[in-house]
Every structure is written in C-alpha cells, then in structure tokens.
Amino acid sequence: MNKLILACLALCLLFPVVSCSGPDSNVPSEVNSEEEARGAAISYLQDNYGERAPSTGGDWQGKDITPEGLLGRRVIEFTLGDWRAVVSCPVVAPENIQYEVIVENVETGWYWRGIVEPNGYVAELVPFQEITQDKSLQIAEEFVKNSPTFQFDGMEDSLVLVETLYPDIEYAWQFIFAFDSRHSGYGDRSGENLLQVITPHEVSVVVEKGVVISARMDDQWDMLEQELIQ
C-alpha cells in the first residue's frame, strides 16, 4: 500500500488526477475487440488532448504479439507511422473484458496508458505526456522530497543530484541524490528516541514512463515499501 501511495503521489504532483470519459459520438457504445478498444482510446486522446494526439483515422496495422507461453491473455500491437498502440486483454467473455491500452510515439516519446471498458468508457491511468529526462528528474526529486524520511528531518538545502544513469529500459532513468537529515534512522520517527547527529543519505530513484518503480536509500531502506531491505 505504501508503494502505491508514494508512486501515485509523485505522479499526481505533476499531472492531472486520473480521469474517466464516457462514450461520445466517436466511441462505440460497445467495445468487442482490440481494434475497437484502440479506436476508443484514440478518440479519448483526440477529445482531451487535441492535435498532440494521433489521428482517429488512418490505416492502423495490427498484429498479434502475445508472448509465447502467456496463457489467458492476448496482446495486439497496432502501428500507424510513428505511433504505436498496444492492446492487452484477458481471454474471457466479451462483456467481462477490460482492455489495457498503451499509446506511444516511438520518435517523440509521447506516451499514454489507460483502460477501455466493454461499454466504451475510458479510464486514464497515465496522462498523455512527453516522457523526457527533465520531467522524470522532476518526478524523482518530488518523490524524495515527499518521502517520510525527508519530510521528517531532511535538510532541504542539502538535496543535490549526484549522478544520472541510463538503465536498458525504454523511457527510464536512474537518478542518484544526496541529502542530510538532522537525526539518524529512516522514515517517520515521531516519538522515537533519536540520535541528534547530521546523517548523510544517498538515494537511488528509478523512474520509468513517468512512474517511480524503485527507490532505495543507502542500500538499506526501501522507500516504496517503507521498510529495511533484507
């Protein structure tokens, strides 16, 4: 639960709250296939983000990219120029299917992820955004500033970016920060007997597609789970 709360907090500081949209004239009242789910997602992007979104028209080419050995789920990839839409869904009765849709531009880095319901409703999970190193750095820095350890006794003026690393993951960066705390220990230590000594910390935060997926302090404290690393 702590992992989900902190990840969502970092994201919500920069982007709008997850939103939903009902079907309109461009969205079918029923979605019965991956292609219709892709169309519903593109229509949602057009309605909410305008010219930055891919066109609702065009000859999208689809192919099955379901990984070998993946049971009970199907993955279809659609492409149109620089745009790519990946639709994943469980193999169940059509009226029970929720389609997870990712839309991205492989050249410019624009990215969106959402859920399309069988009735055409679209729930936005990751807002349409250009995934950049600068924006990811901002997400990582805000995550550190809002972590319980830093909030409790972190010295704000001491927070600095030490290094940026580049994992072999699409749209991902690893940021190394350093900062000082006024006491020893990790997390919210309210009510504890603390050693009053300036304590330096090193933090590694990995941001993938605008979401913090890993955060460790001093290789001892998991900042997502808020627990010591075993």
Residue 9, pLDDT above cutoff 50 = no
Residues 196 and 111 in one domain: no
Q: Return the pLDDT at 69.
A: 84
pLDDT per residue as tens digits for the range 18-49: 444 443 444 456 899 999 999 999 999 999 99
- Structural tokens at position 50: 């305008």
pLDDT per residue as tens digits for the range 105-157: 988 889 999 999 999 999 999 899 888 999 999 999 999 999 999 999 999 99
pLDDT band at 159 (very low <50, low <70, confident <90, very high): very high
Q: Return the pLDDT at 71.
A: 86
The SS3 assignment for 181 reads strand
Residue 11, pLDDT above cutoff 80 = no
pLDDT per residue as tens digits for the range 166-210: 999 888 999 999 999 999 999 999 999 998 999 999 999 999 988
Judge whether 88 and 99 are in contact, CB under 8 Å.
Answer: yes
Domain count, the chain: 2
Q: Return the pLDDT at 81.
A: 93
Residues 36 and 60 in one domain: yes
Judge whether 207 and 213 are in contact, CB under 8 Å.
Answer: yes
Q: How far is CA 179 from CA 50, 65, 165, in A?
A: 41, 44, 18
47 domain-assigned: yes
Residues 24 and 125 in one domain: yes
Residues 78 and 137 in one domain: no
Can you tell me the distance from the alpha carbon of 19 to that of 50, in angstroms, rounded to the nearest whole number? 16
Alpha helices per DSSP H over 61-120: none
Tell me how many degrees the CA angle 105-107-110 measures, rounded to the nearest 5: 40
1 domain-assigned: no
Can you tell me the distance from the alpha carbon of 167 to that of 105, in angstroms, rounded to the nearest whole number? 20
Print the domain residue range for 115.
15-129
Domain end marker among 88, 109, 129: 129
Q: Return the pLDDT at 58.
A: 87
Can you tell me the distance from the alpha carbon of 7 to that of 142, in angstroms, rounded to the nearest whole number? 11
Q: How far is CA 83 from CA 36, 80, 112, in A?
A: 17, 5, 11
At residue 223, what are phi and psi to the nearest 5 degrees? -80, -20
- Candidates 62, 44, 45; CA nearest to 120 is 44
Q: Return the pLDDT at 22.
A: 43
Can you tell me the distance from the alpha carbon of 203 to that of 194, in angstroms, rounded to the nearest whole number? 21
68 domain-assigned: yes
Q: Return the pLDDT at 142.
A: 97
pLDDT per residue as tens digits for the range 42-75: 999 999 998 889 987 889 999 999 998 888 999 9
